Each structure stands twice: as C-alpha cells, then as structure tokens.
C-alpha cells in the first residue's frame, strides 16, 4: 500500500499524533483491586493463624495468636519498653545502612572505573559477600564490645556487598548505543560518566539499596542475639528464653512492619527517581 | 571554492576483513548525498569514519579542509536507533550536543525549541521518550543533530526501523527541513527508493571489499513530493541502481542466511 501525497498532506500522519502522557498513578487505581487483594490476603492469613493457635496448637509455648500478640505489643508500647528497643535497633540499622550505602556505592564506582580496580576489589567483594556473617558476629562483639558499633558493623556486612555489586553492574551495563551517541558530540569520558553511565545505573543502585533493607534488618537482629542490652533482637531472644511467645512475636511483627514500610517507601522513591524503568 | 567534504583513498580493515577499499569522493556545500549498497558493503562503517567514531586504516577525510580525527560538533550524527536518553525530556535530549560543547544558556534553549518546532514537535518539549511514537523519537534524533548547527548531517539509516507509511512521511519531512537550511547531508540507507527520492547524487557501494562502485546523479526537480515516486524518470533511476547491486544483494542474502 502506498500513501499518496494528497493523503499525506491532508490527513495527519498517525505517528504525529501524541501518545497520551503517562498518567500519574491514581488513587482509585491503587485502592482497587490490587490493594484490596493485599488487605484480603493479610486479613485472611491472620484469621487462619488465630484459628490454628486456638484450635489446632492451643499451647502458648509453641504459638501465640495474633490477638495475644496485639495485646502483648500494646502492653510493651504502654510501658515504653517497646520504644526503647525500637530506638536502639533503629539507630543501629540507620547507622549501618547509611555507612554501607555510601561505601557500597563508592566500591561499585571504583570497580566500574577500570579493569585493574575491578581485579583488585572483586575477590574481596565476592569472598566477603559469601562469608557467613553470622559466624563473624561474635568476633565483632569481642572486638567492639556489646555497644552499638558491633551491631553497626554486622549491618554493614549484610548490606554493603549487595549495594556494591549492583552499583558496579549498573554502571557496567550502560547501553553502548547511548555512550556512542554522546561520543558523537565529542563528549569527554567524564561527561559520558555523568550524563549517561551514572543516570542509567540509578535503577540498579536503588535495587541494591532496596534489597539492603531486609538484609540490614536481619543483621540487626542477629547482632543483638550475640550480645546486647536492648533492641528488638534482644527483646526476641529474651522472650524466647522466657517462653513468652506473644512478646517474641511482638518483636518479629515490628520488624516485619518496618521492612514492609521501608520497602514500600523505596518503591515510591523509585517511581519518582526512575520512572522510565516502570513501563 | 573548495569542497565541503573531501575523502581520499579511504580504507578500513577489521583484522583480516577488508571493510572498505580506496573510497574517494567529494561533496559540495548543501548537497544531499545518499549511500546505498547491500549489507556488508561497509556503508555504515564509512559514515562512522566520517563521524570520527571509527578510525580509517588509511586515507583521510577532510571537512572544510580540516582533517577529521575524532567526533566533533561540526558533524551531527543521526542514529538508526534513536539513542534518546530515557530519563531526559524531549528538550533536554535535543539540547545535549550543545550541553557537551559547553554550558547552555537561554539562547540555546530558545534555538532548540525552534528546532523542535521545525521538526514538528511543538508542544512535546517536556514529554519523555517513552511517551512518543517511533516516528516522533526519530524527529527528536534529527533535532538533536541539528541543534549543534553542524556543517554536515550524517544520517545512518534513520528511518529503517519505522513502518512503511511513517517512513514516507519522514522522508518528505526531512526534505522540507533540508530545503529550509540546505545543510550538507550524507545519508546511508538500504532503500534505493528512499535514496533516489531524497538525493542529488546516490553513491552505490559494492561489497567484499566495500568500495564505491558507481555514482548516480538524480536530476529530478525540487522541491519533490511523494508523487514523484510514480514518475517514469524516478522508476527508471531506482531500476538502474537496483540492477547495479542486484547480484551483490543476492550474494549478501545467501551469505547471511548460510
């Protein structure tokens, strides 16, 4: 089929019609039905859990019902004990996570900057990433005492390598086509880095940081297991020693909620910072 | 007056593969030149050498009498795939060449806006590439090359990825824009029809090794509309070029399928 010049002149060409701008996510779309599915799934799970606790297990030493956990959490909150634990754990997490993020991104940049750097750093990153950090946690406590820094170090170990590996991968997988485009304008390596490599690595850097949230929370709890005066991990191990299942679960639930909220926050941030990856 | 572009005995080898052998030609200011040939005739390599993205094994390229060694803002390259930065708006994409050359001011922004209007993207300056169709992305690609006000436009099969109708629209659009500024254009394509429609001269390349086989003048009057594609003169020109490369194209097709 050929286009005659008349039709080309009078009919607006299909490709010149604008695509609708991608609309901002609307509230209505978020509430139904995906959001509904999440609510239903959580509520259903809780009901099932409650029923199993009362009618199948029915032994407070093995399993606490959600209602008992809620009551225990409430008491812990009212007495102020819960906040004390949360504050300690939050500080350990925030410090470790922040340091690991900065260091991890820096190491990723260094590894992507050249083959010599990559060769020098890769064995350390791969080796330490595969090291079972749990085994090192008691050692860190011996070195740094049972204060905050031993926990911070464990969190760093849990978060750092994922961030470094993702950053390096993001920088390395920059599209050759885009680099060449910038090169055609006579861009310097520095300009190529800042205008192409860095922005195109942002999605994978964010992915590394997002994974780090869960790993960092696990790190806090493990570190506190091995020696601490307070913190959610301490609360959990104390409760386990006392066979106080409702309080043990209270600690677990708080951690789970922290993980869910922070990961969701990250999802929101990703939509803002790297909207082009969401198509 | 000296030629805009002068190429002398240009050769290029990749290891044992001889991609280009002894290409010599001149292009005058404001000329629209197309390069056609079968796959593997080195036409894209040729364009990349002129752009400075690739180095010749021997021979030289002179633009306005100066030897081309590396990429620069005296040449605007239009890529086959649009190569737009997905995180930048249309305007920010189009202005990137000027940004690389130095800091950009209000005047650069204004000029780039005007160019976007010229290529038919008025009102889309703040859209992102993912919101645009393939044809619109190629318009940004073209505006980006024009924004540095290059001495010569180098176009590497810019419409190859578009559907047939969009391609024809883009061809007339390109001619309309070219008539305005009369930039010198070097246009690589594997569509003979497209080359004849757009060009003052068509350079026919042959393969193995890539070399300049013939040069065909296109004496069709300008301005041209799509109607011209149905005139006997047009059809005869396309046919003549096709017969020059037919055997080569068949050989290339066999080689690629083997």
Which tens digits make up the pLDDT trace of B74-90? 899 999 999 999 999 99
Q: List the domains of chain A with CATH numbers.
A: 83-278 (1.10.3720.10)
- Smallest CA–CA distance, residue B218 to chain A, in Å, is 20
- Minimal CA–CA distance to B144: which of B188, B87, B100? B100
CA distances from B163 to A9, B101, B169, B189 (A): 18, 34, 10, 15
Q: Which residues of chain A have pLDDT under 50?
A: 1-25
Alpha helices in chain B (DSSP H): 43-51, 90-94, 96-101, 106-118, 134-146, 164-181, 192-198, 232-257
Considering only CB atoms, B100 lies closest to which of A8, A13, A186, namely A186
pLDDT at B232 over 80: yes
Distance CA B166, CA A11 (A): 13
Distance CA A155, CA A90 (A): 11
> B-chain residues within 8 Å CB-CB of A5?
172, 225-227
B226 with A18: Cβ contact below 8 A? no
The residues that bridge with B203 in the sheet, in sequence order, are B35, B215
H or E element, residue B13:
strand B5-14
Instruction: Please tell me the predicted confidence (pLDDT) of residue B1.
Output: 55
Mean pLDDT, residues B19-44 taken together:
90
Considering only CB atoms, B53 lies closest to which of A184, A200, A274, namely A184
Instruction: Please tell me the predicted confidence (pLDDT) of residue B72.
Output: 87
Mean pLDDT, residues B215-244 taken together:
92
pLDDT at B246 over 80: yes
A16 with B77: Cβ contact below 8 A? no
Q: Which residue has the higher pLDDT, A25 or B164?
A: B164
**What residues of chain B, 105 to 164, have a C-beta less than 8 Å from chain A?**
120, 123-124, 127-136, 148, 162, 164
Distance CA A120, CA A118 (A): 5
- Smallest CA–CA distance, residue A165 to chain B, in Å, is 23
A1 with B227: Cβ contact below 8 A? no
Considering only CB atoms, B83 lies closest to which of A17, A177, A275, namely A177
pLDDT at B248 over 70: yes
Tell me which residue has tokens 């925030």: A94
B111 and B101 in contact (C-beta within 8 Å)?
no
A185 and B96 in contact (C-beta within 8 Å)?
yes
Distance CA B204, CA B51 (A): 20
Q: Which residues contact B26 (CB under 8 A, 6 or more apart)?
A: B3, B5, B6, B7
Considering only CB atoms, B131 lies closest to which of A4, A8, A22, namely A22
CB under 8 A, 24+ apart: contacts of B113-119: B115/B143, B115/B146, B115/B147, B116/B90, B116/B91, B116/B140, B116/B143, B118/B143, B118/B146, B118/B177, B118/B180, B119/B143, B119/B146, B119/B173, B119/B177
> B-chain residues within 8 Å CB-CB of A4?
226-227
Mean pLDDT, residues B203-227 taken together:
90
CA end-to-end span of chain B:
49
B70 with A3: Cβ contact below 8 A? no
> A-chain residues within 8 Å CB-CB of B148?
185
DSSP state of A237: H
- Minimal CA–CA distance to B248: which of B200, B215, B218, B211? B211
Map residue A66 onto helix, strand or coil: helix
A233 and A217 in contact (C-beta within 8 Å)?
no
Cβ of B109: how many Cβ atoms within 10 Å? 16
Q: Which residues contact B175 (CB under 8 A, 6 or more apart)?
A: B197, B198, B222, B223, B224
Distance CA B98, CA B128 (A): 19
Q: Which residue has the higher pLDDT, B110 or A4?
A: B110
Q: List the domains of chain B with CATH numbers.
A: 28-54+69-74+152-258 (3.40.50.300), 85-149 (no CATH)
Count residue pairs from A and B with Cβ separation < 8 A: 105
CB under 8 A, 24+ apart: contacts of B211-216: B211/B20, B211/B21, B211/B22, B211/B23, B211/B42, B212/B23, B212/B24, B212/B25, B213/B37, B213/B244, B213/B245, B214/B244, B215/B25, B216/B240, B216/B241
H or E element, residue A148:
helix A148-172
B100 with A187: Cβ contact below 8 A? yes
Tokens representing B236 are 């005869």
Distance CA B112, CA B110 (A): 5
> What are the backbone angles phi and psi of residue A262, rounded to the nearest 5°?
-70, -40
Instruction: Please tell me the predicted confidence (pLDDT) of residue A21.
Output: 47
- Smallest CA–CA distance, residue B232 to chain A, in Å, is 16
Burial label, A27 (beta-carbon count in 10 A; 0-12, 13-18, 19+): exposed
Biggest CA-to-CA distance, chain A: 87
- Minimal CA–CA distance to A120: which of A110, A128, A130? A110
B128 with A275: Cβ contact below 8 A? yes
CA dihedral A153, A157, A160, A166 (to 10 degrees): -170
> A-chain residues within 8 Å CB-CB of B234?
none
User: Which residue from A minimizes the CA distance to B171?
Assistant: A8
- Smallest CA–CA distance, residue A272 to chain B, in Å, is 11
Tokens representing B41 are 């005739």
| Among A1, A7, A10, A181, the residue to mutate for chain B (most B Cβ within 10 A) | A181
- Smallest CA–CA distance, residue B253 to chain A, in Å, is 25
Instruction: Please tell me the predicted confidence (pLDDT) of residue B257.
Output: 64
B93 falls in which pLDDT band (50, 70, 90)? very high
Considering only CB atoms, B97 lies closest to which of A2, A185, A199, namely A185
pLDDT at B110 over 60: yes
Instruction: Please tell me the predicted confidence (pLDDT) of residue A23.
Output: 46
CA dihedral B140, B143, B144, B150 (to 10 degrees): 160
Distance CA B202, CA A251 (A): 76
| Rounded CA Rg of chain B | 18
Q: Which residues contact A10 (CB under 8 A, 6 or more apart)?
A: none
Instruction: Please tell me the predicted confidence (pLDDT) of residue A82.
Output: 92
A185 with B96: Cβ contact below 8 A? yes
């Amino acid at each position: 089929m050929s286009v005659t010049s008349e039709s080309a002149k009078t009919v607006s060409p299909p490709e010149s019609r604008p695509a609708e701008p991608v609309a901002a996510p609307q509230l209505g779309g978020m509430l139904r039905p995906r959001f509904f599915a999440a609510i239903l799934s959580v509520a259903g799970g809780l009901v099932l859990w409650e029923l199993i606790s009362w009618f199948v297990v029915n032994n407070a030493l093995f399993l606490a019902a959600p209602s008992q956990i809620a009551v225990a959490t409430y008491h812990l909150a009212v007495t102020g004990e819960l906040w004390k634990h949360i504050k300690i754990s939050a500080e350990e997490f925030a410090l470790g996570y922040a340091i690991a993020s900065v260091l991890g991104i820096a190491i990723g940049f260094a590894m992507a900057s050249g083959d010599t750097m990559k060769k020098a750093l890769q064995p350390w990153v791969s080796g330490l990433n595969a090291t079972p950090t749990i085994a090192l946690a008691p050692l860190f406590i011996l070195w740094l005492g049972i204060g905050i820094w031993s926990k911070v170090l464990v969190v760093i170990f849990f978060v750092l390598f994922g961030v470094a590996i993702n950053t390096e991968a993001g920088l390395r997988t920059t599209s050759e086509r885009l680099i060449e485009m910038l090169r055609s304008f006579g861009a310097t390596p520095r300009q190529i880095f800042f205008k192409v490599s860095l922005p195109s690595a942002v999605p994978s850097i964010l992915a590394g940081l997002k994974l780090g949230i869960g790993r960092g929370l696990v790190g806090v709890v493990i570190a506190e297991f091995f020696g601490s005066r307070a913190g959610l991990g301490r609360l959990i191990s104390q409760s386990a020693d006392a066979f106080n299942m409702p309080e043990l679960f209270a600690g677990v639930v708080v951690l789970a909620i922290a993980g869910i909220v922070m990961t969701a926050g990250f999802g929101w941030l990703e939509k803002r910072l790297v909207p082009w990856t969401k198509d | 007056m000296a030629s805009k572009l002068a190429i002398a005995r240009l050769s290029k080898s990749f290891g044992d593969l001889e991609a280009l052998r002894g290409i010599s030609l001149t292009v005058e200011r404001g000329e629209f030149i197309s390069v056609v040939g079968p796959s593997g005739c080195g036409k894209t390599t040729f364009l990349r050498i002129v752009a400075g993205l690739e180095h010749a094994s021997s021979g030289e390229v002179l633009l306005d009498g100066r030897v081309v060694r590396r990429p620069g803002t005296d040449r605007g390259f239009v890529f086959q795939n649009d190569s737009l930065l997905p995180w930048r708006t249309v305007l920010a994409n189009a202005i990137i060449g000027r940004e690389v050359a130095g800091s950009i001011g209000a005047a650069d922004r204004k000029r780039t806006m005007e160019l976007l209007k010229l290529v038919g993207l008025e009102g889309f300056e703040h859209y992102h590439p993912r919101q645009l169709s393939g044809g619109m992305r190629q318009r940004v690609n073209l505006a980006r090359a024009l924004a540095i006000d290059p001495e010569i436009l180098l176009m590497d099969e810019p419409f190859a990825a578009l559907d047939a109708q969009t391609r024809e629209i883009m061809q007339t659009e390109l001619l309309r824009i070219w008539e305005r500024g009369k930039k010198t254009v070097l246009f690589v394509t594997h569509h003979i029809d497209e080359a004849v429609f757009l060009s003052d001269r068509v350079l026919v390349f042959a393969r193995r090794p890539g070399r300049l086989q013939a040069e065909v003048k296109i004496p069709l009057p300008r301005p041209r509309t799509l109607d011209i594609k149905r005139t006997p003169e047009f059809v005869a020109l396309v046919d003549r070029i096709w017969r020059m490369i037919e055997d080569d194209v068949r050989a290339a097709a066999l080689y690629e399928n083997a």
